Amino acid sequence: MFKKFGLLISGLIFCLCSGCAVNPITGEEQLMLIPEEQDIAIGRKYAPEVEKEMGGRIDNQRLQNYIDYVGQRIARVSHKPDLEYHFVALEDKSINACALPGGYVFVTKGMLKKLETEAQLAAILAHETAHVVARHASAAMSREIGIGILLSAATSEKIPEGVLVAADLTRQILGLKYSRENEREADLAGLSYMVRARYDPYGMVETMQMLQSQNQQEAGSVDFFSTHPAPQNRMAYLMQRIRTRYYGLGGLKIGKEDYREAVLEQLNNENKPLLNSR
């Protein structure tokens, strides 16, 4: 009894001293060493680095507007609708997507070319938005990189000397792995955002199927899997959730035509001058 009480008190003191935050998705306390205000500073600081590391922004305003439109539709129905979100498409040919703390979400050209509908794009953006909302990146970064380095890097112009150069730190951020539990949380919260934004949640299952068959055809071709669990288990719980919670909803958007016009045709047009000049 006393032992339990002692544990409770020391747990409480630990939380009070080191900072806990309520995860808005689960409603549970999670250990959080980075103050929430710092999320935006860290995101703002590293977004240009991530963009540079992944080939820069795709130079097509129509395509960028569309990615942002779909992302904002998701963000507005998330657990943190008031945060300023940025959804950006990057030139990188790998099949990937990632998010920085504070509302910065990126998707690669390689991923965009493999998707077929707006609902599938919404699935990727919803999963990443849920990571932002639950502050998974901040938790992983403070655990793996070290709170001092991160905060001084976010608030000062220069990364502290002799610690890490910016590019190394960016690579570390891009390689961060979340726990299986975090991924499941992002999948299921993402699914609920899709439905609230009136997207067909089955788009998330299709995206998993695409990633899986892509990886089977060409092992190691999906960079997303270097930081994410294999899709088999994820498809099972997504299907279960769709069957039990979202079955029979009408009028949900799939958006095959919209996606083709705003993304696939834009990316194909991009290649045309090159082909003609041969």
Binding site for Zn ion (CB under 5 A): 183, 186
CB 47, min distance to Zn ion, A: 18
Nearer to Zn ion, 192 or 266 (CB): 192
Distance in angstroms (rounded) separating the CA atoms of residues 59 and 154: 27
Nearer to Zn ion, 39 or 183 (CB): 183
CB 129, min distance to Zn ion, A: 11
Nearer to Zn ion, 211 or 262 (CB): 211
Nearer to Zn ion, 153 or 186 (CB): 186
CB 250, min distance to Zn ion, A: 29
CB 247, min distance to Zn ion, A: 25
CB 183, min distance to Zn ion, A: 5
CB 208, min distance to Zn ion, A: 12
In 10 A of CB 135, how many CB atoms? 23
Q: Which residues, in sequence order, are CB contacts of 61 under 8 Å at separation 6+?
A: none
Nearer to Zn ion, 153 or 199 (CB): 199
Closest CA to 202 of 159, 245, 162, 163: 245
Nearer to Zn ion, 234 or 253 (CB): 234
In 10 A of CB 246, how many CB atoms? 16
Distance in angstroms (rounded) separating the CA atoms of residues 229 and 238: 14
Structure tokens at 118: 């707006």
Q: Is the dihedral of CA 52, 53, 56, 57 positive or negative?
A: negative
